[in-house]
């Protein structure tokens, strides 16, 4: 069996996530301690005890989700006595989850990942004035129609407006991002074109669109100053939807990811084409494994973000 480890993105956060991991496994507790030290604050207290509205802030949610994912990865390694590269064939992360994948595969130092994600969250929030951007989700739509809707929405207003595909999540789920007026038009256009469901999302900024260019510049400068090693397991990148191992290429792809589309559907299809049959989601929630079958019938999903699930999964490995 070929296996890929996947790491969730923003939206999977919940107060108390990772707390059982920290209590059950010293290696997991160490991850949270190292993130706290890197950020100079007790992010772990916020993760474990809330409040949710503070945890959900982009600058907190991003490093928090990474910490939980890496803690789960280290716990799995501790229980099995094997590293991820010995347990699977690929890793992939949704948006910020790509940093989790790189930290879990030891391409990126944990402390660097925490600081980069704190910076990434702030830079993305500051790139567009509050209220000027928006995102919407469309359900039951194919990528070609989504492109048509986005293009029509961008062209339908006064002046140059942005409406880009931010996420192609698979299973007919596509997210658009850009100027608020353009995204609102996209919802109306999608409804008129018979899209099953189209709704505005409660987000604080229009992620993964060209409006995020200032944030990409910030991340480009920051990433140029950190050490990035070859990952122990190939990482399927959001931007290329291909397995990547070259540090220089991975660095550039992380910059492009800020404004680029998360090609999750294509990434998972690529994994299946390489013979992967099991996706194992490490961290908070089970969104990505829930999408697995809807993307490709060859894929089965398993979410292991708590001690009981990790122990049960490890037992299946013999």
Tens of pLDDT along 254-279? 999 999 999 999 999 999 999 999 99
Tens of pLDDT along 175-217? 999 999 999 999 999 999 999 999 999 888 999 999 999 999 9
Query: Which sign does the torsion angle of CA 172, 305, 75, 53 carry?
Result: positive
Name the phi and psi angles at 136, rounded to 5.
-140, 155
Mean pLDDT of 300-313: 95
Catalytic residue among 89, 208, 240, 267: 208
- Is 124 within 8 Å of 214 (Cβ atoms)? no
Q: Cα 308 to chain center, whole Å?
A: 24
Indicate if 95 belongs to the active site: yes
Q: Cis check for the bond before 51: say yes or no (omega within 30 of 0).
A: yes
Q: Report the pLDDT value the prediction gives residue 243, as an integer from 0 to 100.
A: 98
Cα–Cα distance for residue pair 235/89, rounded to 1 Å: 9
| CA nearest neighbour of 283 among 14, 18, 4, 11 | 18
Residue 109 Rama label (left phi>0; alpha psi -120 to 50; beta) = beta
| CA nearest neighbour of 207 among 128, 115, 286 | 128
- Is 114 within 8 Å of 59 (Cβ atoms)? no
Q: Report the pLDDT value the prediction gives residue 158, as an integer from 0 to 100.
A: 72
Burial 46-58 (b: 16+ CB within 10 A, else e): bbbeeeeeebbbb
Tens of pLDDT along 123-167? 999 999 989 999 999 999 999 999 999 999 999 877 789 999 999
The winner for highest mean pLDDT among 184-188, 202-206, 292-296, 301-305 is: 184-188
Mean pLDDT of 211-230: 98
Tokens in use for 317? 């490995």
Burial class (CB in 10 A: 0-12, 13-18, 19+), 131: exposed
Q: Report the pLDDT value the prediction gives residue 232, as an integer from 0 to 100.
A: 98
- Is 262 within 8 Å of 168 (Cβ atoms)? yes
Residue 308 has pLDDT above 80, yes or no: yes
Residue 83 has pLDDT above 90, yes or no: yes
- Is 178 within 8 Å of 201 (Cβ atoms)? no
- Kindly state the percentage of the chain with pLDDT values over 70: 100
Which single residue is written with the structure tokens 């049959």? 277
- Is 207 within 8 Å of 96 (Cβ atoms)? no
Mean pLDDT of 80-88: 97
Helical residues (DSSP H) of the chain, grouped into ranges? 19-24, 26-39, 43-49, 52-55, 58-80, 84-87, 97-104, 110-126, 143-155, 180-192, 213-223, 247-259, 264-273, 287-295, 307-316
Residue 95 has pLDDT above 80, yes or no: yes
Catalytic residue among 95, 177, 198, 267: 95
């Amino acid at each position: 069996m070929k296996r890929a480890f996947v790491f969730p993105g923003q939206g999977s956060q919940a107060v108390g996530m990772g707390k059982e991991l920290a209590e059950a496994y010293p290696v997991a507790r160490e991850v949270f301690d190292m993130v706290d030290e890197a950020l100079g604050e007790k992010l772990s207290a916020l993760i474990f005890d809330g409040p949710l509205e503070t945890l959900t802030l982009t600058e907190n949610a991003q490093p928090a989700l990474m910490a939980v994912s890496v803690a789960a990865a280290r716990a799995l390694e501790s229980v099995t006595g094997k590293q991820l590269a010995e347990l699977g064939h690929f890793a992939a992360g949704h948006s910020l989850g790509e940093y989790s994948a790189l930290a879990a595969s030891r391409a990126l130092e944990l402390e660097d990942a925490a600081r980069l994600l704190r910076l990434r969250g702030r830079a993305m929030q500051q790139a567009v004035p509050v209220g000027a951007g928006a995102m919407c989700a469309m359900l039951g739509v194919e990528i070609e129609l989504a492109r048509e809707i986005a293009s029509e929405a961008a062209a339908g207003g006064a002046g140059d407006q942005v409406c880009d595909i931010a996420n192609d999540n698979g299973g007919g789920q596509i997210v658009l991002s850009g100027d608020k007026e353009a995204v609102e038009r996209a919802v109306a256009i999608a409804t008129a074109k018979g899209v099953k469901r189209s709704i505005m999302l409660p987000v604080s900024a229009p992620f993964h669109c060209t409006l995020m260019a200032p944030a990409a510049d910030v991340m480009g400068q920051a990433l140029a100053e950190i050490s990035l090693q070859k990952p122990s397991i190939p990482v399927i990148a959001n931007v290329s939807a291909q397995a990547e191992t070259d540090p220089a290429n991975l660095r550039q792809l992380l910059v492009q990811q800020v404004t680029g589309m998360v090609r999750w559907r294509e990434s998972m299809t690529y994994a299946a084409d390489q013979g992967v049959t099991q996706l194992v989601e490490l961290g908070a929630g089970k969104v990505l494994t829930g999408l697995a079958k809807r993307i490709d019938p060859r894929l089965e999903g398993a979410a292991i973000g708590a001690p009981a699930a990790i122990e049960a999964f490890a037992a299946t490995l013999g």
